Chain A
Amino acid sequence: MKSLILQTASRYLIVLLVIFSVFILLRGHNEPGGGFVGGLLIAGAFALYGLAYEPKAARRLLRLDPRTIIGVGLVTAAGSGLAAVWHGQPFLTGQWLPYPIPFLGKLGTVFFFDLGVYLVVLGTALLVLLTLEEE
């Protein structure tokens, strides 16, 4: 399924979609959005790219194997909870930096948890979609 229009469009779209998905991820804490939607969005972007070119191209662009991404995501999410254990609080209690970071606002372990969710959703959706595309 080679379509010049789809290929050209997806080359520009994927950049926008990746930026947008990160934006969605970051704003999630205060506005609608978050790791789950962000992850689905970026997965859709890569799936579209794979559809327009070929799955291999999407994998090249992704650099990491989706399976690795799932693993990294799970470790990030679970690991973000350990900071609280270190401080003697229950697992997964949010820990926050005392001062806001420019552009990001207040930064805490909760952000890394959301990042983990983002990565797991992205990895899982792409694992299924890309494998199907390769069929």
Chain B
Amino acid sequence: MGWSVLGIFTLALFAPFLHRLLGRATGWVLALFPFTLVVFFGRHLPILPGERFATSWSWVPSLGVDLSFVLDGLSLTFVLLIGGIGALVLIYSGAYLGEQSGGGRFFAYLLLFMGSMLGLVLSDNVITLFVFWELTSISSYLLIGFHHQTDSSRASALKALLVTGAGGLLLLAGLLLMMLAAVQLGLPLETAGRISAMFSVNFQQHPLYMPILVLLLLGAFTKSAQVPFHFWLPAAMAAPTPVSAYLHSATMVKAGVYILARFHPILGGTLQWKTLMIGVGVVTMLVGAIMATGQRDLKRILAYSTISVLGILTTLLGVGTVQAIEAAVVFLVAHALYKAALFMVAGNIDHETGTRDVTRLGGLRSLMPVTAITGILAAFSKAGAPPMFGFLGKEALYTAKLDIETIGLWLIIGAVVANVLLVAMSLVVAVWPFFGSFRQTPKTPHEAPISMLLGPVLLAGFGMFVGLIPGAFDRSVGSAMSTAILGFPVEMKLKLWHGLNPESILVMALSGFTLATGFVLFMKLRPWLTHTLELACRLEPWGPGVRRAWQEGRLLHELTCRLEPLGPTRAYERLLAGLAWSAQGVTRLIQSGYLRRYILITILAVVGLVSYPLLHSIQPQLSQNAWQIRPHEAVVALLTLAGAIATVRARYRLTGVAALGVTGLGIALTFVMFGAPDLAMTQVMVETLTVILFVLVFYHLPPFVPRSTRRQRFRDLVISMSAGLVMALVVLATASIHLEPVLSDFFARQSLSAAYGRNVVNVILVDFRALDTLGEITVLAVAGFGVYALLRLKARQKGEVQK
């Protein structure tokens, strides 16, 4: 299992080269890998409830982090979705991108995502899981910002990254708390990070349960676009359509749902879990469905309906009864199939006509017959019409909701409302563009190429196949997946026809009502939306605007258009702007551009930060023989002091530098006298190079003019004196603290015997602490290149001015 993840990452590395070699055929070739993956994992089908396969590679055993992978019903279903849809999306992308530049990069990102998502659903260790989780966020960021030349694309990518990234941090905090709690509850550290080991302990009585739950849910909610974090998903539609089909409907946005499902047996079932999940889920379900109705962009409609479905899934996991989990399982898989198909259909329409605005589309059925049939099939599945897979999902959903006692009625009403809207919108997406009279579009449409039809046709066809033979699904993965989510074995039995009993009649009536109302709404919605050919988001006063909008039949669009920027998007933008503003303020305060100001701030900060702990905790003391100064020591000290005074009082730069050199050499002499020849050598070399440097810049400097006033000079004197005083105190303090000489003893003893060197300082630098030195020389190299770049930049600017 680990190899498959590693394999995809490796393939991602080579994707750009393959693309250069193969051109448009890259998609077909790359698709072979995920296809192999499906076959490889498919050999575990049918997976039995409770069956598990595990492998593990050691990573950081001392911290309880390992690369352990587990395959059970839940992860197998996800793996098959990731591999299967992934293969189709790769094939689709080849034709969709065509001759666009950056194709190699695109495939690399897509494969990077595929590997991360695969790792995410297979991980058994929470830290590994988090790493893959972040990788999906990053690859999603890269893919949304694929058209990085456009501002909106970059802004959308950043939005998605910041929202899911922030959620990721919360998730990490939650997972670490979980590990902590697991250790406190008696798991050994080596296995405390294993999800499979966490089943054996009871978190729900632990005092950390509530923080863990909240952090985990926040992480999942941001990823799965739950209200109020949903706003990044419609914005993410800036990504190329295959990406939207793959990441933002079928797989990545389900990562949050996956986490919730994965931790359901460990954390689920409590009142807090139910309240939070059902509350957020229902709101998301309704908000998504309502916002979808006002959109005219095909992809945005699909994005909002995805949000709604994710809300439904969260609600079902929150309810947590056997029926609810089974419904979630069916709904999740059905949605992945039909939504990916619908996105690809939308992509075909966009690709062939040049527009995604649904009001500008119509009558395409004779021009794009295959796309049309596929779209209608997928939309029927989405609408939950028999005999599609989506129908089973809807039936299961209603059955599950009927089951709950107290709030069941309200949930049913909410679900029916949301589903009616979803039915209408699925018809808008997949029926509207193909029927009615033909409308002129930017491009002359014709049927999409085979590679762009294969994906949607197979996915929609598969949806119908599962709908007709529901037993194939529940026997192969459905039961095992429900078992994995519930934590105890269940046997799932999906049926198209439930026979005649009061409950099934009620469910069927609800389904029929949903379909009929949805269809009526769609017929109504069509004229409502068609009237709004001009951009409806103009800034009008609310009162008369609303009345006119109602008369003109575009109230819905107006309302959702106005709602959208009022929601969390606004908070996000305010937050971002505030951050930039405060960063700017701080930068302006600290980085004034004057060297003297920088030095002033640095010295003041050091004095402040060092003197506080110094005066509070350590009493610097003079050692007893402090006043036994030998004559030559006194001479060197006086020389150093005289050099410093002369530097400050110098009227010419050259004098100043020479005097500074005296101080430096005096310090070097001090090092020699007190047994630090290495330091002394380095000090002398640095002094020498400083002089050379000075000679080099001497000619470029403006004439030396003392600018400071008397007051400023007094201020500088005070600051420099205090800095000197603090440094002197630090030296005294280090001399007066009695440290256990463990380390210095160790180095002195081991230097010759273990590292074959008599110079302890050097041995520490190149052997005992070699990693530190490696870091230091790397920093040195980077700093050198920085200086070089700055000098070159300046030289080039000068050259331009001269031209």
- A interacts with B: yes
Q: Give me the interface of A with B, judged by CB distance under 8 Å.
A: 24, 28-37, 40-41, 43-44, 47-48, 51, 67, 70, 73-74, 77-78, 81, 91-92, 94, 96, 105-106, 108, 110, 113-114, 116-117, 120-121, 123-125, 127-129, 131-133, 135
Contact call B762/A34, Cβ cutoff below 8 A: yes
Contact call B791/A129, Cβ cutoff below 8 A: no
B98 is an interface residue with CB less than 8 A from chain A: no
Q: Which residues does chain B contribute within 8 Å of A131, judged by CB atoms?
A: 787-788, 791-792
CA distance A58 to B671 in the complex (A): 33
Residue of B nearest to A37 (CB): B681
B705 is an interface residue with CB less than 8 A from chain A: no
Partner of A124, one of B700, B762, B780: B780
Contact call B767/A110, Cβ cutoff below 8 A: yes
Contact call A33/B759, Cβ cutoff below 8 A: yes
B763 is an interface residue with CB less than 8 A from chain A: yes
| A40-B686, A47-B692 given; A110·B755 CB < 8 A | yes
Contact call A129/B755, Cβ cutoff below 8 A: no
Residue of B nearest to A105 (CB): B756
Q: Which residues does chain B contribute within 8 Å of A108, judged by CB atoms?
A: 756
CA distance A117 to B677 in the complex (A): 19
| A36-B765, A116-B777 given; A29·B693 CB < 8 A | no
4 further interface pairs, Cβ-Cβ under 8 Å (given A131-B792, A132-B697):
A125-B784, A128-B784, A128-B787, A135-B795
Interface size bracket, B side: 35 or more
Q: Which residues does chain B contribute within 8 Å of A117, judged by CB atoms?
A: 765-766, 773, 777
CA distance A48 to B695 in the complex (A): 11
Contact call A30/B692, Cβ cutoff below 8 A: no
B650 is an interface residue with CB less than 8 A from chain A: no
| A43-B689, A92-B770, A117-B773 given; A106·B762 CB < 8 A | no
Residue of B nearest to A32 (CB): B677
Closest 8 CB pairs between A and B? A124-B784, A32-B677, A40-B685, A29-B757, A30-B758, A92-B770, A120-B777, A34-B762
Partner of A31, one of B755, B759, B795: B759
Q: Which residues does chain A contribute within 8 Å of B791, judged by CB atoms?
A: 128, 131-132, 135
Partner of A34, one of B700, B759, B774: B759
Q: Which residues does chain B contribute within 8 Å of A70, judged by CB atoms?
A: 781, 784-785
Q: Which residues does chain B contribute within 8 Å of A81, judged by CB atoms?
A: 770-771, 774
Interface string of B772-790 (1 = CB under 8 A from A): 0110011011011101100
| Least Cβ–Cβ distance between A83 and chain B, in angstroms | 12
CA distance A117 to B785 in the complex (A): 16
Q: Which residues does chain B contribute within 8 Å of A125, judged by CB atoms?
A: 689, 784
| Least Cβ–Cβ distance between A9 and chain B, in angstroms | 15
CA distance A54 to B758 in the complex (A): 41
Q: Give me the interface of B with A, judged by CB distance under 8 Å.
A: 677-678, 680-682, 685-686, 688-689, 692-693, 695-697, 700, 755-759, 761-763, 765-767, 770-771, 773-774, 777-778, 780-781, 783-785, 787-788, 791-792, 795
Question: Can you give 26 contacting A-B residue pairs, CB < 8 Å?
Answer: A24-B681, A28-B759, A31-B759, A32-B759, A33-B678, A37-B682, A44-B692, A51-B695, A51-B696, A77-B774, A91-B771, A92-B774, A94-B755, A105-B756, A106-B756, A116-B777, A120-B777, A121-B777, A123-B781, A124-B781, A125-B689, A128-B693, A128-B791, A129-B693, A131-B792, A135-B700
CA distance A37 to B679 in the complex (A): 9
Contact call B685/A34, Cβ cutoff below 8 A: no
CA distance A78 to B696 in the complex (A): 33
Residue of B nearest to A96 (CB): B756
CA distance A102 to B770 in the complex (A): 26
| Least Cβ–Cβ distance between A109 and chain B, in angstroms | 9
Contact call A113/B766, Cβ cutoff below 8 A: yes
CA distance A2 to B30 in the complex (A): 65
Q: Which residues does chain B contribute within 8 Å of A28, judged by CB atoms?
A: 759, 762, 766
Contact call B783/A29, Cβ cutoff below 8 A: no
Q: Which residues does chain B contribute within 8 Å of A129, judged by CB atoms?
A: 689, 692-693, 696
Contact call B785/A67, Cβ cutoff below 8 A: yes
CA distance A135 to B756 in the complex (A): 45
Residue of A nearest to B798 (CB): A135
CA distance A51 to B777 in the complex (A): 26
Q: Which residues does chain A contribute within 8 Å of B778, judged by CB atoms?
A: 74
| Least Cβ–Cβ distance between B62 and chain A, in angstroms | 13
| Least Cβ–Cβ distance between B367 and chain A, in angstroms | 58
Q: Which residues does chain A contribute within 8 Å of B762, judged by CB atoms?
A: 28-29, 33-34, 114
| A40-B689, A44-B692, A110-B766 given; A127·B759 CB < 8 A | no
Q: Which residues does chain A contribute within 8 Å of B777, judged by CB atoms?
A: 73-74, 77, 116-117, 120-121
Contact call A133/B780, Cβ cutoff below 8 A: no
Residue of B nearest to A133 (CB): B696
CA distance A35 to B689 in the complex (A): 16
| A34-B678, A37-B681, A74-B777 given; A47·B689 CB < 8 A | yes
CA distance A30 to B777 in the complex (A): 22
Contact call A74/B759, Cβ cutoff below 8 A: no
Q: Which residues does chain A contribute within 8 Å of B758, judged by CB atoms?
A: 29-31
Contact call A37/B678, Cβ cutoff below 8 A: yes
Contact call A44/B759, Cβ cutoff below 8 A: no
| Least Cβ–Cβ distance between A134 and chain B, in angstroms | 8
CA distance A123 to B781 in the complex (A): 8
CA distance A74 to B787 in the complex (A): 18
Residue of A nearest to B686 (CB): A40
| Least Cβ–Cβ distance between A67 and chain B, in angstroms | 7
| Least Cβ–Cβ distance between A76 and chain B, in angstroms | 10
| Least Cβ–Cβ distance between A128 and chain B, in angstroms | 5
Residue of A nearest to B795 (CB): A135
Residue of A nearest to B680 (CB): A32
